[in-house]
């Protein structure tokens, strides 16, 4: 697992976000903020940020909603500071090599292996096997294809995705072993490069307002572009589990946006005064979110620009992915 990058050498960064709803501060601190940091550090390399709509299709099965949510993620990417001059922003469905490669990976992967996935196990406890689609079951292979198509070195993600990066590495190794390249020259003898997860230790799992992992599916989020009223409402509903008169969940969320040293002083001075501490968090969150929300509002007014970014991203990603698929086709003997 990496958490430094070598800015001297060109690296390839890849990550994706599912268009399944508004992003929350867990997505931002756990992963999306690192997209921007890495984009700035990786001056000589390539950065790909993908709107993974075919992953979202497991959940969003309505054309109008899918179109809207996908465009929303593109706007979110731009609003947090992903710069289309430095990074490729594109939709997964615009590059059909992703699903083509996922099929090839399906053929070299066993069912028991995929049954080890945490996401599958979660879905099993929630609804049982009869409610799990084949798409959800195979999701790690599509994700492996997303990452491996671009010879990715580093994948910035939250802790919940660590296992999927390991699956991508295993799949790359397995493919390279089964299908060695004819000349043995590409990437030290194999078609695929092994990627590494980039996970920031202190924000690997951002807690939600109930103390569990913040997640759209638990209804415990604070939206990244929330209005002032929404911020107030979310913070006032934070569950105040306390330890020595410090409300733990309030403190944990607060520490995302304020240095711990400053916070400790504030929480010491206001021991037991939960309402006061929540009010301070509300003000700090409002100040943190407001500029990003306003920037998002401006970008959302210029959809021609957003669509142009996606169009250019599609061309750039396609060029790279189609070359990689040529190597894959040669390696498996269908070219």
Nearer to ligand ADP, 26 or 45 (CB): 26
Tokens coding 295: 């920037």
Ranges within 189-218 binding ligand ADP (CB under 6 A): 205-206, 213-216
Q: Give the three-class secondary structure for 204.
A: coil
CB 15 within 8 A of CB 55: no
Among 11, 13, 26, 42, interactor with ligand ADP by CB under 6 A: 26
Nearer to ligand ADP, 80 or 104 (CB): 80
Tokens coding 168: 């991508």
Q: From the annotation, which residues make up the binding site? A: 18-20, 26-27, 146, 158-160, 206, 213-217
Closest CA to 146 of 109, 190, 92: 92
Question: CB under 6 A: which stretch of 43-51, 157-165, 184-192, 258-266 binds ligand ADP?
Answer: 157-165
Q: If binding is defined by CB under 6 A, does position 27 make contact with ligand ADP?
A: yes
Q: If binding is defined by CB under 6 A, does position 31 make contact with ligand ADP?
A: yes
CB 22 within 8 A of CB 234: no
Closest CA to 23 of 49, 43, 41, 1: 49
Nearest residue to the partner ligand ADP, using Cβ: 30
Closest CA to 270 of 242, 228, 237, 239: 242
User: How many helical (H) and strand (E) elements, i.e. helices and strands, does the chain have?
Assistant: 14, 7
What DSSP string describes 27-49? HIIIIIHHHHHHHHH-TTSEEEE
CB 193 within 8 A of CB 187: yes
Nearer to ligand ADP, 180 or 211 (CB): 211
Among 17, 119, 253, 285, interactor with ligand ADP by CB under 6 A: 17
Nearer to ligand ADP, 98 or 216 (CB): 216
Among 45, 84, 158, 313, interactor with ligand ADP by CB under 6 A: 158
Among 42, 70, 161, 220, interactor with ligand ADP by CB under 6 A: 161
Q: If binding is defined by CB under 6 A, does position 30 make contact with ligand ADP?
A: yes
Tokens coding 246: 């410090």
Nearer to ligand ADP, 161 or 249 (CB): 161
Residues in touch with ligand ADP (CB under 6 A): 17-18, 20, 26-27, 30-31, 157-158, 160-161, 205-206, 213-216
């Amino acid at each position: 697992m990496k958490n430094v990058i070598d800015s001297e050498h060109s690296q390839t960064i890849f990550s994706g976000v599912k268009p399944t709803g508004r992003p929350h501060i867990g997505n931002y601190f756990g992963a999306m903020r690192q997209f921007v940091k890495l984009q700035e550090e990786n001056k000589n390399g390539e950065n790909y940020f993908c709107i993974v709509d075919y992953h979202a299709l497991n959940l969003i099965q309505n054309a109008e909603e899918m179109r809207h949510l996908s465009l929303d993620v593109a706007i979110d990417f731009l609003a947090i500071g992903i710069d289309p001059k430095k990074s490729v922003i594109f939709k997964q469905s615009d590059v059909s090599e992703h699903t083509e490669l996922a099929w090839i990976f399906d053929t070299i992967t066993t069912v028991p292996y995929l049954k080890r996935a945490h996401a599958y196990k979660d879905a099993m406890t929630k609804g049982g096997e009869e409610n799990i689609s084949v798409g959800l079951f195979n999701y790690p292979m599509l994700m492996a294809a997303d990452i491996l198509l671009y010879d990715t070195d580093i994948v910035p993600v939250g802790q919940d995705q660590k296992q999927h990066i390991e699956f991508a590495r295993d799949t790359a190794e397995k493919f390279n072993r089964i299908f060695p390249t004819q000349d043995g020259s590409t990437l030290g003898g194999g078609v695929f490069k092994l990627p590494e997860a980039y996970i920031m230790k202190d924000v690997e799992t951002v807690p939600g307002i109930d103390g569990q992992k913040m997640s759209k599916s638990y209804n415990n989020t604070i939206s990244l572009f929330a209005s002032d009223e929404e911020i107030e409402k979310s913070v006032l509903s934070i569950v105040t589990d306390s330890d020595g008169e410090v409300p733990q969940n309030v403190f944990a969320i607060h520490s995302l946006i304020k240095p711990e040293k400053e916070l400790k002083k504030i929480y010491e001075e206001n021991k037991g005064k939960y309402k006061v501490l929540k009010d301070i968090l509300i003000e700090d969150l409002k100040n943190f979110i407001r500029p990003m929300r306003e920037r998002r509002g401006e970008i959302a007014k210029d959809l021609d620009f957003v669509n142009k970014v996606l169009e250019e991203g599609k061309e750039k990603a396609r060029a790279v992915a189609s070359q990689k698929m040529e190597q894959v086709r040669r390696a498996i003997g269908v070219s």
